[in-house]
Chain A
Amino acid sequence: MSSDEVLIVTSKNELLSFGYIYDNIGKEVVYEGQTYSLSKHGIRYIYPLLFLGYPTQSPVTKPRKPVWTTKLGELTLIISDILQI
């Protein structure tokens, strides 16, 4: 998908999957008629691998949610979380 294309998603899972891919930063996605642009990709929690590193220095993934921007009238909203009703 190039940066000029706009992806239309139909479910929240699709939207979130889009938000966890680093290459999608700056790309736009349409969900329920609202256009979202990914400004920061999310990071999923990965269970630490056994025997990786020293016992006191095992790497831990710090998860975070994707950050989106969307337009609402003349305002630009920075969205940090999306919840289903």
Chain B
Amino acid sequence: MFKFLLIWFLVNYSYENVSDTYKSYKIENSIQEMSSFIDKQQFREDQLRGHCNLQNFVMKDKPTYYDDILDFVIDVKHTLITPLYRKLIHSLNYPELISTKQMNATTYEDFMNLSHTPDNKGKEIIYEGYTYILLHSGIKVDANVYNYSNQLSYPIPKNPIWSIQLGGHIVTISDIK
């Protein structure tokens, strides 16, 4: 009798176990659903890219906590250097905030890297004793392109443009070798 009950219990338990596993595989396959969802989203994004003619547009990364703090500091600085607050600071006898507009490059690579940074536009770069003003930053073609494999688009490389004072005139430089 005991053996019969034990066998009955084991068979019943095994059947329910197999049945539940099959149901979960058939109905609640989360990995397959997620994969299908991602495929659909990618297809939708491709359609939108094609329709809106986005070309080289690259999505910006979500700002991090550090970026938020940096933006806040820049905003505060911008507020402080406006004429009204500048007068206020002057009357309070606080030192004025001064942004760095000069950079020193020790090597040619360093100089070119500074010249390819968009944030340095309008700034002065001192290299080998000469002061170059960066009029337009250059664009390098990097291997890192953030797009889909079937929509690779590389930026067009561009040399930086500097201006430099030579004697009594200013020359515009389109390339340095």
Which residue numbers of A lie inside 8 Å of B, CB to CB? 12, 31-34, 67, 70, 72-85
Contact = CB atoms under 8 A, between A and B. Distances in A.
Given A77-B176, A78-B175, A12 B128 contact: no
B177 A84 contact: no
A33 B166 CA distance: 10
B172 interface: yes
Nearest to B161: A80
Contact of A75 (B128, B168, B170): B128
Q: Is the contact region of chain A dominated by helix, strand, or loop, or is it mixed?
A: strand
For chain B, give the interface size range: 10 to 19
B173 interface: yes
A78 B169 contact: no
A70 B173 CA distance: 10
Contact of B169 (A12, A67, A73): A12
Nearest to A74: B128
Nearest to B159: A78
A81 B168 contact: no
A42 to B, nearest CB: 14
B169 A83 contact: yes
Contacts of B129: 73
Nearest to A84: B169
B83 interface: no
Interface of B: 108, 128-130, 161, 164-177
A72 B129 CA distance: 10
Given A72-B130, A82-B171, A32 B166 contact: yes
Contacts of A82: 169-172
| 5 A-B pairs with the lowest CB-CB distances in the bound complex, closest first | A81-B172, A78-B175, A32-B167, A80-B174, A83-B170
B176 A78 contact: yes
A78 B174 contact: yes
A15 to B, nearest CB: 9
A78 B171 contact: no
Contacts of B168: 32, 84-85
A85 B173 contact: no
A17 to B, nearest CB: 15
A37 to B, nearest CB: 13
B110 to A, nearest CB: 14
A78 B165 CA distance: 14
